[in-house]
Structure 1
Amino acid sequence: MSDLRLDGLSATLAGVEIVHALDLHVGSGQVFGLVGPNGSGKSTALRCVYRALRPSAGVVRVDGDDVARLTPRASAQRVAALTQDGSADLDLTVADVVALGRVPYQRGNRRLTARERELCRSAMERTDVAHLAGRGILSLSGGERQRVLLARALVQEPDVLVLDEPTNHLDLRHQIDLLGHLRDTDLTVVVVLHDLNLAAAACDRLGLLAGGRLVAAGTPAQVLTGERIAQVYGVEVTVTAHPLTGDPQVLYSLGPSPARTVDPALEGNHR
């Protein structure tokens, strides 16, 4: 297991600074959730972690190593990503897509070893896609495809797994299963979630972003307070303890919204 650090991370897109001097530490084996309103910089920060975007300042470190200084192969062995864009251009079978997770470890056209085949089988079982192994990826629903891509990421055997809104397209059962898998792995996990109640249940710690800046970090109970949610989201809520787990639960009404109370300093056109 490895820890992950974002030290003074800033990121700029089209000349606009989207993430501002972000400092985060994710301990080895922790599930860390990034939450915040649309445009708060969550996905942009993750893109820097899995090297889809080069930071404009600061550094991303895995066990002290600057990921930007690693070779692409070494980086792919350390960090795996499940992104929002689960599109596919080629209609490979599910089994072939999952096996692509071994590419960072392969040289030439070497066939999968017995251990690697078992790794693929186990990952497909864990994500409930083994019965789809012979199906083409383009024939699957969005939720099925999401689970296949998670299996591929697990087969990659990374130290750090980053997931950007992984519960998109998933029904309730598979949302719970997926987040349960994250808690059962030995991986260091960073996950972007919009559902605050799911984040509270699944994550050891949370980081709340707004306007590209870190507003709060800590346990779900420390971060998800009614006052802070009103400040960042502009929504009045009641936060209570889950009757079974004690995790914070955010309750809200669909009635008329109160006047927005978001601090103007936290607003901005960020992604």
Structure 2
Amino acid sequence: MRLSLDGLTVALDGTTLVHSLDLDVADGSVVGLIGPNGSGKSTALRCVYRALRPSGGTVRVGGDDLADLRPREGARRVAALTQENGSDLDFTVAEIVALGRVPHQRGNGPLTARERELCEHAMDSMDVAHLAHRGVLTLSGGERQRVLMARALVQEPRVLVLDEPTNHLDVRHQIHLLSLLRGLGVTTLVVLHDLNLAAAACDRIGVLEEGRLVATGPPAEVLTPELIRDVFGVEATVVAHPLTGDPQLLYRLTHEKGTP
């Protein structure tokens, strides 16, 4: 299912955070959003999972204006893994994952056999099945992140919106998660700070700077030393991965005066 941001603008408290953003995510593709802190990445994503109402422009999911869809229908199409995912309720892991079925249920009936199987498969795929009966508040940050990803998968969305999904994950689970995304065939818009992971996982990359899209295209075309210097303010050498050919960035560390 295609996701389109058409002239998306977000202004809060007199400040425009996102300026007329045009971005298409083709059916089944993975598109990454990268950019410095405060560049508008998370703000744009919040409009896609309806935590924010755009000041202008449109979010279209499958050609339909997201604002015209009822909340239940919107939740059936779009699942989100956000940065604001804390919970004060000590549900078990299995209970948290099962919440992904809420948009598909009527009333408070028990899960069907298929839904229970779906939950088990999602927990297996995110390596949290062994935690099923643990309280979510007893988990590490990385474990909790994987549980919430399993919940998103159980939702069976047509579009996934992921805001820094590798946050808190060790390197094995980072690679596993992004490899999973590549194989799902689900339209995915993902914010990533690790540019090398973005280059490996994404079909296309959009670069935001001060709320404006300054570049978009395949990783090999977008991730140039000039762009990295101009947008992020760091020097990098770009090389091809010896096995995949994906661009990989080698950063040069500098010792600034006055720092220990």
* Alignment TM class, shorter chain as reference: over 0.9
CA–CA separation in structure 2 for the residues paired with 1:92 and 1:199 = 32
CA–CA separation in structure 1 for the residues paired with 2:13 and 2:255 = 36
Does residue 177 of the first structure (1) align with residue 176 of the second (2)? yes
Matches of residues 50-65 of structure 1 in structure 2 within 5 Å? Answer: 50-65=49-64
Residue number in structure 1 paired with 2:198 = 199
For 1:122, give the aligned amino acid: H
Residue number in structure 1 paired with 2:106 = 107
| Contact 1:123–1:151 under 8 Å retained in 2 | yes
- SS of 2:252's partner is coil
CA–CA separation in structure 2 for the residues paired with 1:119 and 1:184 = 17
For 1:133, give the aligned amino acid: A
- SS of 2:196's partner is helix
Deviations 1:67-125 (A, max 9, x none): 11111100000000000122112100000000000000111111100110000000000
Matches of residues 65-80 of structure 1 in structure 2 within 5 Å? Answer: 65-80=64-79
Residue number in structure 1 paired with 2:23 = 24
Residue number in structure 1 paired with 2:93 = 94
Residue number in structure 2 paired with 1:265 = none
Deviations 1:16-74 (A, max 9, x none): 11000000000000010000111110000000000000000000001110111111100
- SS of 1:51's partner is coil
Residue number in structure 1 paired with 2:189 = 190
For 1:104, give the aligned amino acid: P
Which ranges in structure 2 are unaligned for 5 or more consecutive residues?
Answer: none
Residue number in structure 2 paired with 1:138 = 137
CA–CA separation in structure 1 for the residues paired with 2:254 and 2:6 = 41
| Contact 1:77–1:105 under 8 Å retained in 2 | yes
CA–CA separation in structure 2 for the residues paired with 1:216 and 1:71 = 33
Runs of at least 4 residues off by over 2 Å? none
Identity of aligned residues (%): 71
TM-fit CA distance, 1:15: 2.1
Total equivalences in the alignment: 256
**TM norm structure 2:** 0.97
Residue number in structure 2 paired with 1:82 = 81
TM-fit CA distance, 1:206: 0.3
Matches of residues 206-225 of structure 1 in structure 2 within 5 Å? Answer: 206-225=205-224
Residue number in structure 1 paired with 2:238 = 239
| Contact 1:82–1:163 under 8 Å retained in 2 | yes
Which ranges in structure 1 are unaligned for 5 or more consecutive residues?
Answer: 258-271
| Contact 1:98–1:148 under 8 Å retained in 2 | yes
| Contact 1:159–1:188 under 8 Å retained in 2 | yes
CA–CA separation in structure 2 for the residues paired with 1:91 and 1:111 = 20
CA–CA separation in structure 2 for the residues paired with 1:182 and 1:88 = 25
